Amino acid sequence: MDSTREYAFDAMVIGGGIAGLQSALDLAGQGYTTAVIEKDASIGGKMIRLSKVFPTLDCASCITTPKMAAAAHHENITLFTCCDVSSIERNDGGILASVTQRPRYVDMDKCIGCRKCEYECPVLVPDAEQGGFSGRKAIRIPFSNAIPQKAILDVENCMLCGKCASVCPTGAIVYDQQPEAYRILAKTAVLATGFELSPIADKRQYGMGEIPNVIDAMQMERLLAPHGPYGRVLRPSDGMIPDSIAYVQCAGSRDASMGVSYCSRVCCMYAIKQAMLLSGSLPLADITIYYMDIRAFGKNYEQFYQNAKAMGIEFVKAKVASLDKGENGAVVVRYEDQLAEGVTTREHDLVVLSMGMLPGWNPDGVCPVGLGGDRFISSLFPKTRPSVTDMAGVFVAGVAAGPKDIVDTITEAGGAAMQAANYLTSLSASAKDAVKEESHA
């Protein structure tokens, strides 16, 4: 017997980052029942992992957490986490998604988020949520402001010692929990699957992730975050307070050898933001940004850049040729200075790579939606209705359509929700016309 559970909604949103949450909240606010399907164990996307955000330097989680909570408590929104989408297709009823929910090995209805299991678990592994700098248990709440606040057990590292089950006050641990299959039907869909950073491991000349004090910008977000791995910025290899920190711009963008020939748009601004935050937390440190061009494209962004210069952050117009291990954990930066001319080297205690943005999801074979040459989801009308895709009733929001900052992501997500709502209105208008025609016949 087919044990697939079936659900029907007015709308479904794939991806629970800031774009997906905004689209879902806008649709639900208009009375439409909406499913949010998220692959991770928590909603919130990249934004909930950031420290502060340019250009206002607001705390990222102060903006994201209320939206996550609003979505979780909205009567018209149903969250599906830990979900993989295997197909999205059109049928007579609308858009049908086939979804598999991976087991958490924890009964969501019973777990009260008390973390007793996490405290008791003896297994400690590097915590990707903290850039790999600190440890996490095999069973844990994914991060402090995760939603839902439910535990998840990492079966690959669990040694089945039974300690978590013995302390769980509600009997929520289910070691033999199985994946669940769902068919989710909706009249319209918004794709908000965001991005992943281009991997350091692909950057041979920058050490392929093998140089200990070369990190990516998302790891620096965690070092700067209030609930970060060390509670302050320390050099990962030896816990030293860095005196000299460098940024390498366009480390994964505008580089055909990485398959990312486009500009990722946010890297200049996030590097400047992090440099400003660093000069606040480490006032004695020298901070250098090696850049090809600074692209400060948004409202008040140029002023933000000028403020960073006024704070003493050094901008060196240069193409960084290579990074190498130096003495005592230092990183040797070899670069061609485009203003002073000539190739030269300099040592820094810590180097941050401004990696580019790659699409967070490859819909090939899953959803017949058109992609651009950059592999992000294409818009049918980029100038007039940027969220409309070439699949009727399916819209796109946020970085799923191409690199962009939070301001543009939220604006576009509101636009996608509006287009989806218009589409739902047009469906009910044509249904009414059909009824009228039938009654006249």
Ligand X SMILES: Cc1cc2nc3c(=O)[nH]c(=O)nc-3n(C[C@H](O)[C@H](O)[C@H](O)COP(=O)(O)OP(=O)(O)OC[C@H]3O[C@@H](n4cnc5c(N)ncnc54)[C@H](O)[C@@H]3O)c2cc1C
The residues binding ligand X (CB under 6 A) are 14-20, 37-40, 45-47, 50, 53-54, 85, 192-195, 197, 217-218, 221, 266, 270, 273, 360-361, 398-400, 404-407, 409
Binder to ligand SF4 among 97, 117, 200, 397 (CB under 6 A)?
117
Nearer CB in complex with ligand SF4: 25/147: 147
Residue 135 makes contact with ligand SF4 by CB under 6 A: no
Nearer CB in complex with ligand X: 142/194: 194
The answer to whether the CB of 83 falls within 8 A of the CB of 39 is yes
The answer to whether the CB of 110 falls within 8 A of the CB of 95 is no
List phi, psi (to 5°) of 382.
Answer: -60, -30
Binding-site partner at residue 254 among ligand SF4, ligand X, none, CB < 5 to 8 Å by type = none
Nearer CB in complex with ligand X: 41/138: 41
Question: Cβ 116 to ligand SF4, closest distance in Å?
Answer: 4
Question: Cβ 219 to ligand X, closest distance in Å?
Answer: 9
Question: Cβ 131 to ligand X, closest distance in Å?
Answer: 11
Rg for the chain, CA atoms, rounded: 24
Which two three-digit tokens encode residue 238? Answer: 């030896």
Binder to ligand SF4 among 37, 48, 97, 139 (CB under 6 A)?
139
Q: d(Cα 344, Cα 356) in Å, to the nearest integer?
A: 25
Binding-site partner at residue 221 among ligand X, ligand SF4, none, CB < 5 to 8 Å by type = ligand X
Nearer CB in complex with ligand X: 63/282: 63
Nearer CB in complex with ligand X: 53/333: 53
Binding-site partner at residue 335 among ligand X, ligand SF4, none, CB < 5 to 8 Å by type = none
Q: Which stretch binds ligand SF4 (CB under 6 A): 126-134, 164-172, 245-253, 271-279?
A: 164-172
Q: d(Cα 130, Cα 132) in Å, to the nearest integer?
A: 5
Residue 111 makes contact with ligand SF4 by CB under 6 A: yes
Nearer CB in complex with ligand X: 10/221: 221
The answer to whether the CB of 14 falls within 8 A of the CB of 85 is yes
Binding-site partner at residue 28 among ligand X, ligand SF4, none, CB < 5 to 8 Å by type = none
Residues near ligand SF4, by CB under 6 A:
106, 111-117, 120-121, 123, 138-139, 151, 153, 158-164, 168, 170, 172-173
